[in-house]
Amino acid sequence: MKLNFTGSSDPGLVRSSNQDAFYIDPDGRFFIVADGMGGHAGGEQASYIATEEITAFLLSQWDSDQPTPQLLENAIAQANQAILEDQQRHPERSDMGTTVVAVIFRPSDSPWCGHVGDSRLYRFRESQLQQVTEDHTWVARAIKFGDITEEEARSHPYRHVLSRCLGRKDLHQVDVQPLDVKLGDRLLICSDGLTEELNNQQIAAHLRDCSPLETASEQLIIAAKDQGGHDNITVVMVSVE
């Protein structure tokens, strides 16, 4: 399958720094988005470590016999361990952490996604947007059990409380799943700086209206900033052709 891809990150209109990070493999083999937290230096460091460690692991083990889901899980686990070790060396960053979404296209296998936190992967197919990943947050769990509605979750005071992130010793599970991808699909990987400002219907509308990937990516970031741009905004898009 042939892939086209693009990515962009913007600090938004409120934050003085950008604690998001992303990486796009030049050969289109994998894509990573991370959203750091823990103060200016801590958040930037955590997301940087995550993207660097996952990239290094995938490149070093790309041709190994590891099954793709295990390869992806091990890469994210290594990133978590690297952040923990950095915390030990730098106690001033002891509370830093990061979300991560990684999508991998290995020629011998179907595409896979691994994620921790509330950065998201969407699939846009035949003008319909579907959220592929499930947020690891307090409000996502509350929605699942019927305690609050999705509309209530958008303004809930606990909406940013993560139940899982990198940089924690108690991270015992990475969600890894195969992806159903076919010709014409577009994948959107993003930090919550986008989804905090735009709901799924608004995101889908921009994807329907904008044909080139670069234009769609730019317009999503502009739209999020028009709605307030309260957080860093990162968008990575992949089209299957």
Instruction: pLDDT tens for the chain, 241 residues: list them.
Output: 899 999 999 999 999 999 999 999 999 999 999 999 987 779 999 999 999 999 999 999 999 999 999 999 999 999 999 999 999 999 999 999 999 999 999 998 999 999 999 999 999 999 999 999 999 987 777 777 666 777 766 777 777 789 999 999 999 899 999 999 999 999 999 999 999 999 999 999 999 987 799 999 999 999 999 999 999 999 999 999 8
pLDDT score at 153: 67
Query: Is 234 a domain residue?
Result: no
Question: Which residue has tokens 């991370």?
Answer: 34
End-to-end CA distance of the chain: 7
pLDDT score at 147: 67
- Under DSSP, is residue 120 helix (H, G, I), strand (E, B) or coil? strand
Query: Is 238 a domain residue?
Result: no
Query: Is 136 a domain residue?
Result: yes
Residues contacting residue 215 through CB under 8 Å, at least 6 positions apart: none
Range of the domain at 150: 3-229
Phi/psi for 59 (5° steps) reads -65, -40
CATH number of domain containing 135: 3.60.40.10
pLDDT score at 239: 97
Question: Please, are residues 231 and 14 in contact by the beta-carbon 8 Å criterion?
Answer: yes
Query: Is 63 a domain residue?
Result: yes
Q: What is the rounded distance in angstroms from the CA atom of residue 72 to the CA atom of residue 41?
A: 27
Query: Is 239 a domain residue?
Result: no
Look at the chain and report how many structural domains it folds into: 1
pLDDT score at 108: 81
Q: What sign has the CA pseudo-torsion 225, 36, 23, 73?
A: negative
Residues facing 187 on adjacent strands = 123, 238
Query: Is 237 a domain residue?
Result: no
Query: Is 188 a domain residue?
Result: yes
Query: Is 241 a domain residue?
Result: no
Q: What is the rounded distance in angstroms from the CA atom of residue 74 to the CA atom of residue 39?
A: 27
